[in-house]
Amino acid sequence: MTQIPANISSETRDRLERYVRARGLKKGFVIEQALLHHLQAITELPEDVLIPPRLIITGDSGQRVLERLDAKEQPNQAMQTLFDEPLEPVPGDPA
Protein backbone atom coordinates (compact mmCIF):
# COMPACT_ATOMS: atom_id res chain seq x y z
CA MET A 1 0.00 0.00 0.00
CA THR A 2 1.14 3.52 -0.80
CA GLN A 3 -0.24 6.70 0.68
CA ILE A 4 -0.74 9.63 -1.66
CA PRO A 5 -1.33 13.02 -0.07
CA ALA A 6 -3.71 15.20 -2.07
CA ASN A 7 -5.29 18.60 -1.71
CA ILE A 8 -8.97 18.64 -2.66
CA SER A 9 -11.62 21.33 -2.51
CA SER A 10 -13.91 21.49 0.49
CA GLU A 11 -16.86 20.76 -1.83
CA THR A 12 -15.22 17.54 -3.04
CA ARG A 13 -14.34 16.55 0.52
CA ASP A 14 -17.94 17.12 1.63
CA ARG A 15 -19.30 15.07 -1.27
CA LEU A 16 -16.89 12.25 -0.43
CA GLU A 17 -17.85 12.38 3.25
CA ARG A 18 -21.57 12.18 2.43
CA TYR A 19 -21.00 9.34 -0.04
CA VAL A 20 -18.97 7.13 2.30
CA ARG A 21 -21.25 7.83 5.27
CA ALA A 22 -24.38 6.95 3.28
CA ARG A 23 -22.90 3.68 2.03
CA GLY A 24 -20.77 2.61 4.96
CA LEU A 25 -17.56 2.61 2.93
CA LYS A 26 -14.01 3.68 3.70
CA LYS A 27 -12.70 6.82 2.02
CA GLY A 28 -9.54 5.05 0.85
CA PHE A 29 -11.59 2.36 -0.90
CA VAL A 30 -13.80 4.91 -2.68
CA ILE A 31 -10.81 7.00 -3.76
CA GLU A 32 -8.94 3.96 -5.12
CA GLN A 33 -12.01 2.73 -7.01
CA ALA A 34 -12.58 6.19 -8.48
CA LEU A 35 -8.95 6.46 -9.53
CA LEU A 36 -9.01 3.00 -11.13
CA HIS A 37 -12.23 3.87 -12.94
CA HIS A 38 -10.75 7.13 -14.22
CA LEU A 39 -7.51 5.48 -15.36
CA GLN A 40 -9.43 2.75 -17.18
CA ALA A 41 -11.62 5.34 -18.92
CA ILE A 42 -8.70 7.47 -20.11
CA THR A 43 -6.97 4.32 -21.35
CA GLU A 44 -9.93 2.86 -23.24
CA LEU A 45 -11.82 5.91 -24.52
CA PRO A 46 -10.70 8.14 -27.38
CA GLU A 47 -9.26 11.38 -26.06
CA ASP A 48 -11.78 13.53 -27.94
CA VAL A 49 -14.74 12.10 -25.98
CA LEU A 50 -13.28 12.78 -22.54
CA ILE A 51 -14.82 15.81 -20.86
CA PRO A 52 -13.05 17.28 -17.85
CA PRO A 53 -15.23 17.63 -14.73
CA ARG A 54 -14.43 21.34 -14.59
CA LEU A 55 -14.28 23.64 -17.56
CA ILE A 56 -12.35 26.88 -17.19
CA ILE A 57 -13.70 29.67 -19.38
CA THR A 58 -13.02 33.37 -19.65
CA GLY A 59 -15.50 35.99 -18.53
CA ASP A 60 -16.18 36.89 -22.16
CA SER A 61 -16.88 33.33 -23.26
CA GLY A 62 -19.03 32.76 -20.17
CA GLN A 63 -21.08 35.82 -21.08
CA ARG A 64 -21.55 34.49 -24.62
CA VAL A 65 -22.76 31.15 -23.23
CA LEU A 66 -25.30 32.95 -21.02
CA GLU A 67 -26.49 35.03 -23.98
CA ARG A 68 -26.96 31.91 -26.11
CA LEU A 69 -28.92 30.22 -23.33
CA ASP A 70 -31.14 33.28 -22.90
CA ALA A 71 -31.77 33.48 -26.66
CA LYS A 72 -33.71 30.18 -26.59
CA GLU A 73 -32.60 29.41 -30.15
CA GLN A 74 -34.16 26.50 -31.99
CA PRO A 75 -31.80 23.55 -32.58
CA ASN A 76 -29.88 23.66 -35.85
CA GLN A 77 -30.28 20.89 -38.44
CA ALA A 78 -27.32 18.85 -37.17
CA MET A 79 -28.65 18.90 -33.61
CA GLN A 80 -32.18 18.05 -34.76
CA THR A 81 -30.85 15.11 -36.80
CA LEU A 82 -28.87 13.87 -33.81
CA PHE A 83 -31.90 13.91 -31.52
CA ASP A 84 -34.20 12.40 -34.16
CA GLU A 85 -32.01 9.28 -34.55
CA PRO A 86 -33.50 6.23 -32.84
CA LEU A 87 -31.56 5.01 -29.82
CA GLU A 88 -29.57 1.84 -30.24
CA PRO A 89 -30.49 -0.84 -27.71
CA VAL A 90 -28.05 -1.34 -24.87
CA PRO A 91 -26.59 -4.89 -24.89
CA GLY A 92 -28.14 -6.92 -22.08
CA ASP A 93 -30.94 -4.39 -21.45
CA PRO A 94 -34.28 -6.23 -21.36
CA ALA A 95 -36.17 -3.14 -22.57
Sign of the torsion angle spanned by Cα atoms 5, 11, 15, 18: positive
Among candidate residues 4, 33, 2, 39, the one with its CA nearest the CA of residue 16: 33
Residue 85 pLDDT > 90: no
Angle (nearest 5°) at CA 67 between 56 and 47: 35
The pLDDT, as a whole number, for residue 94 is: 66
pTM of the model: 0.56
**Span 7-33, pLDDT tens digits:** 999 999 999 999 999 999 999 999 999
**Span 50-83, pLDDT tens digits:** 888 888 889 999 999 899 889 988 889 998 998 8
pLDDT band at 95 (very low <50, low <70, confident <90, very high): low
The pLDDT, as a whole number, for residue 16 is: 96
More confident residue, 36 or 65: 36
How far apart (Å, rounded) are the C-alpha atoms in residues 16 and 22?
Answer: 10
